[in-house]
Amino acid sequence: MSLTVLKPGPQTTVEDLGRPGYRALGVPAGGACDTPALRIGNRLVGNPEGAAALEVTLGGLQLGFEQDCVFALTGAMVAAQLDGIPVPGWQSVRASAGSVLCLGYANAGARIYLCVAGGIDVPPVLGSRATALLAGLGGYAGRALRAGDVLRVGKPDQPARAGAAVRAPQRGEVLRVLPGPEWPQLARTQQKALLGAVWTLSPDSNRMGARLAGPTLALDGSGELASHAVLPGVVQLPPSGQPIILLADAQTTGGYAKPLVVIAADLWRAAQFSPGERVRFAEVSGQGALAALLAQRDWINRITRSLAWPL
């Protein structure tokens, strides 16, 4: 079973849940930027939640199915057609051999996940099939997909079923945040500006970071710190005064001030803003962050149970 890339769109990569455990060697965990969308997409087609899938940035992907197969599109909303017939998102769909899937431009969100029954079968590197673009390892030849690439699909553990559907999660412009270590180094006026401003997502954002444009912020002091561990969700304030929200492919260490950290439950939202879209921060308590993470896990677990197929 295989898929042929006819058009890759702006950037399509093979991703799974990443390779945690190698940060101390300088290797970012990487993996899907919107992990709930990957987990649920995989469940919709009967895969383990961490099977490798395609992360399609902003749409534009065209793909040929060489054999019959079941797939699902999750993540960003996109007008998609299978041989000219509209394909709904967040639902498992059967494609027959020779059919062609065409994605339009994402109309809500930035990253679409194409999960296929059996998962994308590329060789794992350091325990993961995720593409580390900067290091050029993992995924398909360590790079984004190009027209003509042929992707092997694994053998499904169980026969896949079409027609399974779940409701897409709601997404607004707000990201819930906790104060970061350098929050106190911002003057009151700067703290207010950071939390009060309506930011917009800059088009030079990528899998390493969501770059925001808005009022120019200034730190007390130089803002240069000794190199320290950073993680996806950390909001850095470089000398430009424009915040960067670190995403899945962020480097393992950084030296910029970190006034905020996006809570783990909202990390997927940070990865789904499209260029020009409005972004706001809202403070939450530590307890609130844990409650949100628990609620997200419960939601994924409930979907997983409801989609578990009797064998």
Site string for another protein, 11-50 (x = CB under 8 A): ---------xxxxxxxx-----------------------
- Residue 30 backbone dihedrals phi, psi, to 5 degrees: 60, -150
- Residue 6: enclosing H or E segment and its boundaries? strand 2-8
Site string for another protein, 264-283 (x = CB under 8 A): x-------------------
3 state DSSP class of 217: coil
Q: The dihedral of CA 185, 189, 191, 194: what is its sign?
A: negative
158/285 with CB nearer another protein: 285
Check residue 5 for interaction with another protein (CB under 8 A): no
The Cα-based distances of 95 to 89, 100, 108, 176 in angstroms read: 14, 8, 24, 39
Check residue 195 for interaction with another protein (CB under 8 A): no
209/233 with CB nearer another protein: 233
Q: How far is the CB of 101 from another protein (least distance, A)?
A: 32
Determine the residue type at 254: G
- The β-bridge relationship of strands 69-82 and 100-116 is antiparallel
Q: Bridge-partner residues for 151, per DSSP?
A: 3
Q: How far is the CB of 91 from another protein (least distance, A)?
A: 29
User: Is residue 19 within 8 Å of 130, Cβ to Cβ?
Assistant: yes
The total of other beta-carbon atoms located within 10 Å of residue 167's CB is 7
Check residue 253 for interaction with another protein (CB under 8 A): yes
**C-alpha count within 13 angstroms, C-beta hemisphere, residue 184:** 1
The span of 49-57, 175-183, 203-211, 301-309 binding another protein (CB under 8 A) equals 175-183
Q: How far is the CB of 146 from another protein (least distance, A)?
A: 19
Check residue 6 for interaction with another protein (CB under 8 A): no
Check residue 174 for interaction with another protein (CB under 8 A): no
Q: CA-to-CA distance for 19 and 34, rounded, in angstroms?
A: 15
Q: Report the residue from 6, 79, 100, 135 that binds another protein according to the rule CB under 8 A.
A: 135
88/136 with CB nearer another protein: 136
Q: How far is the CB of 39 from another protein (least distance, A)?
A: 15
In the complex, which residues of this chain contact another protein (CB under 8 A)? Answer: 20-27, 125-126, 132, 134-137, 178, 180-181, 226-231, 233-234, 251-253, 258, 261-264, 286, 289-290, 293-294, 297
